[in-house]
Amino acid sequence: MIEMTTKIEVSDSIASVAGFQVAGIDAGLRKQPAPDLALIVMEAAGAAAGVFTSNKVQAAPVILDRALLADHPERIRAVLINAACANACTGEPGMENARSTQKWVAEMLGCQADEVLVMSTGVIGVQLPIEKMRAGIPVAAQSLSATNWAVAARAIMTTDTKPKSASVIADGYSIAGIAKGAGMIAPNMATLLSTVVTDAVIAPALLQKALLEAVEVSFNRVVIDGDMSTNDTLLALASGRSGTAINESNYPQFVASLTAVCENLARKIVADGEGVTRFITIHVKNAATSADARLIANTIATSPLVKTAFYGGDANWGRILAAAGRSGVDIDQWKASLWYDELQLVSNGLPLNYDDARANALAAQPEVTVTLDVNMGSADAIVWTCDLSHDYVSINGHYRT
């Protein structure tokens, strides 16, 4: 990704994006009344791109959307997103149900079924409540508005405690997005659903390229629990309504703006993780390669021992070095130095005479940055993670019940 010299201002809300209408309704899919079905529509078919889970067990919507974007990414009209059911591990009936929802959306919009992308989130191994979906889709279509982004963001939530949205007004165009995700989060597409939209004019191949660049330093840098979903999907849609074309000269600014939206959403997912009380930035410095830096950071970020120490406000830095040492990267422990925020705890593999009470106070902050300098090269990586609390166990121990 090309670095920009000017800071990009990101809003936590979405006003409207030219060429898009959106809805969020209660279709009765949840156990309790709440918005649970979202519909995002372009006024005319346009460009789309997508990034999906690398899990080999994939939900019906993932399989369908991959095929559609591979076949005609220049001709996508809408995205339908349901909560309360993942439509994963549901066999051919699940595929047929997903196709049915595409057909019903297309009938309401006057387009082709293969112009409709679908996403699902919820319990794995449960068939879609198809009659409720059939009844809800017309209501969603009739509720479309340019300004309904807030309710759409609520409609896609699962164990999230708050909706997640972000937007950027760039030079001649806008980019905005909504996302959900709170648990079963790991890199290489975290467990999330997200749709990002823009009114820029951009070819599908260039949009796909930009999306991959943005994902690499945003959604692929978050960890909550190290698990990976069957449903991870990030879609990008471009209406072209602003009239501003993305070309070689303004592509870096477009990627930077897209990345700013994705990073904002990714950080919100970690901050709203299941049972989270700490937001932790893991910064690995001076590794031999970027892959090494990323692997070390991911290993630290997913370590239950590291995460529980932060939950207890315990600056047990030995767990961090132990995680780095088992990452598979050939590090030299005698070159490693470690900081909690600005407080250095370790220098060249040896503990310093630091203030332990201050270290514990730093570990107990709502936000803390851990910096590990392995002094093996010049490559860096940042991963955002969180602590592991009693509430995480309670939430996931009773997820279905």
Predicted confidence (pLDDT) per residue in 363-383, tens digit:
999 999 999 999 999 999 999
Complete domains list, the chain, with CATH: 20-271 (3.60.70.12), 279-397 (3.10.20.340)
Distance CA 240, CA 178 (A): 19
Q: What is the pLDDT of residues 204-256, one digit of tens each?
A: 999 999 999 999 999 988 876 556 778 889 999 999 999 999 999 999 999 99
Nearest Cα to 372, choosing from 333, 401, 398?
333
Distance CA 294, CA 287 (A): 9
Collect all residues with Cβ–Cβ distance below 8 Å to 260 and sequence separation of at least 6.
Answer: 8, 10, 166, 168
Nearest Cα to 160, choosing from 233, 83, 234?
83
Does residue 59 contact residue 84 with C-beta atoms inside 8 Å?
A: no
Predicted TM-score of the model (pTM): 0.92
Residue 375: other Cβ atoms inside 10 A: 16
Task: Quote the tokens at residue 196.
Answer: 């990002």
Helices (H) and strands (E) in the chain, counts: 11, 14
Q: What is the pLDDT of residues 119-165, one digit of tens each?
A: 999 989 999 999 999 999 999 999 999 999 999 999 999 888 899 99
Residue 136: other Cβ atoms inside 10 A: 23
Task: Quote the tokens at residue 202.
Answer: 């951009």
Nearest Cα to 323, choosing from 304, 348, 341?
304
Distance CA 374, CA 219 (A): 25
User: Buried b vs exposed e over 79-89: b needs ≥16 C-beta within 10 Å?
Assistant: bbbbbbbbbbe
pLDDT of residue 277: 86
Distance of CA 186 to the CA centre of its chain: 10
Pick the range with the lowest mean pLDDT from 54-58, 201-205, 335-339.
Answer: 54-58
Distance CA 383, CA 295 (A): 10
Distance CA 392, CA 400 (A): 14
Q: Looking at residues 27-38, what average pLDDT do you find?
A: 96
Task: Quote the tokens at residue 384.
Answer: 């955002």
Q: State yes or no: pLDDT of 358 exceeds 50.
A: yes
Distance CA 288, CA 374 (A): 9
Distance CA 189, CA 171 (A): 29
Nearest Cα to 23, choosing from 140, 180, 193, 153?
140
Distance CA 10, CA 176 (A): 9
Q: What is the CA radius of gyration of the chain?
A: 22
pLDDT of residue 158: 85
Question: Which residues form the catalytic set?
Answer: 191
Task: Quote the tokens at residue 236.
Answer: 């990008």
Largest CA distance in the chain: 71
Distance CA 84, CA 104 (A): 19
Q: What is the mean pLDDT of the chain?
A: 92
